[in-house]
Each structure stands twice: as structure tokens, then as C-alpha cells.
């Protein structure tokens, strides 16, 4: 039993190190790219201000740049609100569909026993549930395949 448990843990945690390295690399790259994008944005805003200042004066330039920034911010807020609303509607539809489905008797029995198992031995129960989910995802082809 102990050997099988060790193998399951090894299989489940095998890609943690490579995933951590990938996340670290992507984070550093994202920070550097963000700095360059911010530099380009500031240069664009300054160029717009200089252009409008040459045409209409410094006060008008400041007002035009502020108005453009406010308009862009309002557009972004509107788009985010619409996307959040769509996501909320999809989540409610998904919850309604899941509530309409009747689970099979085995799953219903396991779900009713799970709180008692968690109180009795939370670590073993967590490992068991994680192993069960891992086996199900591998057997049904969900997720990524094994790395080569």
C-alpha cells in the first residue's frame, strides 16, 4: 500500500518543478514587457500633448489628453462589466444544469460520506480524493497528456 501511495504522489507531483520554472520565467517576461509597454504609452501620451500644444496651446492640450484618457477608461470599464456579466450568466447556467442532473448512486453515496471521512482523517481523505480525480482525468483523456 505504501509503495502504491508513493508512486501516486510521485506521478502527481512530477511536473511541479518544471511548472514552477515556467511560471517564474513567464512572470519575469511579463514584468519586463509591461515596463516597455508603459514606456511606449507614456511616450505616446507626451507626443499627443506636444502635438496638441503646438496646435492649440498647453491648456487645451492638457484637456484633450485628460478627456481621451477618461474616454478610454470608460470604454475599458464598460467592456469589463459586459464580460463579467456574461461570465456570471454562464456560471448560473452551468449551476442550473448541474442542479438538474441527478448523480449516480455511487457518487451520491460517496458525497454523503465525504464530510464524515474528512473529520475522521482529513489528510488521508484529501490524498484519496486527489488520487481518484487524477485517475479519472487520466483515464478519460482530460487535461494534458504526459510530457515527452
pLDDT recorded at residue 116: 79
pLDDT recorded at residue 142: 55
Q: Each residue of 6-55: pLDDT tens digit?
A: 666 665 665 566 677 788 889 999 999 999 999 999 999 999 999 999 99
* CA pair distance 117, 129, nearest whole angstrom: 11
**Average pLDDT of span 133-137:** 78
Confidence of residue 124 (pLDDT cuts 50, 70, 90): confident
pLDDT recorded at residue 113: 77
Q: DSSP characters for the chain? A: -HHHHHHHHHHHHTTHHHHHHHHHHHHHHHHHHHHHHHHHHHHHHHHHHHHHHHHH-HHHHHHHHHHHHHHHHHHHHHHHHHHHHHHHHHHHHHHHHHHHSPPPHHHHHHHHHHHHHHHH-HHHHHHHHHHHHHHHHHHHT-S-----
**Higher pLDDT among residues 2 and 138, named by residue:** 138
**Higher pLDDT among residues 24 and 119, named by residue:** 24
pTM of the model: 0.48
Q: Each residue of 46-82: pLDDT tens digit?
A: 999 999 999 999 889 889 989 999 999 999 999 999 9
Q: Each residue of 73-115: pLDDT tens digit?
A: 999 999 999 999 999 999 999 888 877 776 667 767 777 777 7
Confidence of residue 3 (pLDDT cuts 50, 70, 90): low
- Does 146 score more than 60 pLDDT? no
CB atoms within 10 A of CB 15: 13
Amino acid at each position: 500500500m505504501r509503495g502504491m501511495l508513493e508512486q501516486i504522489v510521485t506521478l502527481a507531483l512530477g511536473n511541479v518543478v518544471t511548472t514552477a520554472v515556467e511560471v517564474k520565467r513567464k512572470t519575469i517576461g511579463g514584468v519586463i514587457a509591461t515596463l516597455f509597454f508603459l514606456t511606449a504609452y507614456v511616450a505616446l501620451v507626451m507626443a499627443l500633448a506636444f502635438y496638441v500644444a503646438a496646435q492649440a496651446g498647453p491648456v487645451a492640450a492638457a484637456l484633450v489628453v485628460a478627456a481621451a484618457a477618461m474616454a478610454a477608461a470608460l470604454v475599458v470599464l464598460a467592456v469589463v462589466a459586459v464580460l463579467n456579466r456574461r461570465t456570471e450568466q454562464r456560471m448560473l447556467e452551468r449551476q442550473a444544469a448541474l442542479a438538474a442532473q441527478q448523480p449516480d448512486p455511487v457518487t451520491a453515496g460517496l458525497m454523503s460520506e465525504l464530510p464524515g471521512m474528512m473529520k475522521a482523517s482529513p489528510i488521508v481523505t484529501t490524498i484519496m480524493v486527489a488520487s481518484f480525480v487524477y485517475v479519472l482525468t487520466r483515464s478519460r483523456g482530460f487535461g494534458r497528456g504526459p510530457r515527452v
